Amino acid sequence: MSIGRTIICLLVALLLTSPAFGQATGTPKDMAGTGYYRDQDTLPGAIRFYSQLPGGEGGLWGLGPSRQKIRRSSFKMDAHDEVADYSPEVRCKKCHIPQTKDLHYLRMGITCVQCHRSQPVAGVYHYYSSLNPIRRHAYVCAKCHEGATPSFASYMVHEPNPIAPETRGSFPLFYYVVWFMLILASGVFLFFLPYTALWWIRELVAKLKGRPDHG
């Protein structure tokens, strides 16, 4: 029984120390935005895994998200200078539907310009863009994620659709791992749901016939 008691003590201790029980709603405490960031990653020479230049080889044996299509606007200072009907007054999501599907925007209610800093909106790879991978962690992510590093900033905020065929080329690990998990999960359901239903019917038939274990 001492193991059981240890588990209970651990449970109670963890629950009591959890900030969740002392804190009302509001912005997360670690989202206060000290702007603290780190340029140094732990792994030596790690930057080469993280640099996300479009068209380049992906990090970690090409499994990472690097082989994106190259968009001309990505390198512009004003990404919209050739967009005829653009106006800062128009909501971004009118034109950029695929970019409205991420966690930050949908669930945390973070607006586009909190990351794509003020007008004119720069292409994400423009040399002076705050979202350029060389300073993205410091200028954008660290506003909310204390201690952000270049590695952290290589997280894809607008992640591609993991099961779409294009993702196999642009982010192979994402594609293969998600497909593997989907096949595993559907395999379990496809087997167990019909099987337990049939099993139930089989027990009913056996009971009606009064022969519980015969064939």
Partner 1 sequence: MADERTRLKRFTPVHRLWHLGLILVFMTLSVTGIAWMFFETPWGRGLANLFGGYVNVLEIHRTAGLVMLAGFTSHILYMIYRIDWKGFPRSLLGPETLVFQWVDVKGFFRHLGWVFGLNKLPHFDRWSWWEKFDYWAVWWGLIIIGVTGLMLYNPVLTSDYMPGWMLNVALWVHRIEAVLAMGYSFTAHFMIEHWRLGSFPFNAAMFDGTLDIEEAKHDHPEWIARLEKEGRLNEALVAPPPVPLRIFYFLFGYSIIFLGLFLLVFAIANAALLTLF
- Name the helix (H) or strand (E) containing 8: helix 2-17
| Smaller CB separation from ligand HEC, 147 or 187 | 147
| Smaller CB separation from partner 1, 52 or 132 | 52
The CB density around residue 41, as the number of other CB atoms within 10 Å, is 16
Distances in whole angstroms, Cα of residue 37 to Cα of each of 29, 117, 140, 145, 171: 17, 18, 10, 8, 26
* Sign of the C-alpha dihedral computed for residues 139, 144, 146 and 147 taken in this order: negative
Exposure string for 52-75, b = 16+ CB within 10 A, e = fewer: bebeeebbeeeebbbbbeeeebbb
Q: By CB under 8 A, tell whether 200 contacts partner 1.
A: yes
User: Of 59, 86, 63, whose CA–CA distance to 73 is shortest?
Assistant: 86
Q: By CB under 8 A, tell whether 6 contacts partner 1.
A: yes
Q: By CB under 8 A, tell whether 106 contacts partner 1.
A: yes
Near ligand HEC by CB under 6 A: residue from 79, 138, 167, 172:
79
Q: Which residues pair with 37 in a beta bridge?
A: 148
| Smaller CB separation from partner 1, 90 or 106 | 106
Show the binding pattern over residues 132-171: x = contacts partner 1 (CB under 8 A), - = does not: -------------xxxxx-xxxxxx--xxxxxx------x
* The entry of partner 1, ligand HEC, none that residue 151 binds, CB within 5 to 8 Å by partner kind: partner 1
* The entry of ligand HEC, partner 1, none that residue 196 binds, CB within 5 to 8 Å by partner kind: partner 1
Near partner 1 by CB under 8 A: residue from 32, 53, 113, 185:
185
Q: Which two tokens stand for residue 15?
A: 């629950």
Q: Which two tokens stand for residue 81?
A: 């200078």
Q: By CB under 8 A, tell whether 42 contacts partner 1.
A: yes
User: Which residues contact ligand HEC by CB under 6 A?
Assistant: 28, 31, 71-74, 79-80, 83, 85-86, 90, 92-96, 99-100, 103-105, 108, 110, 112-116, 121, 123-124, 131, 136, 140-141, 143-145, 152-153, 155-158
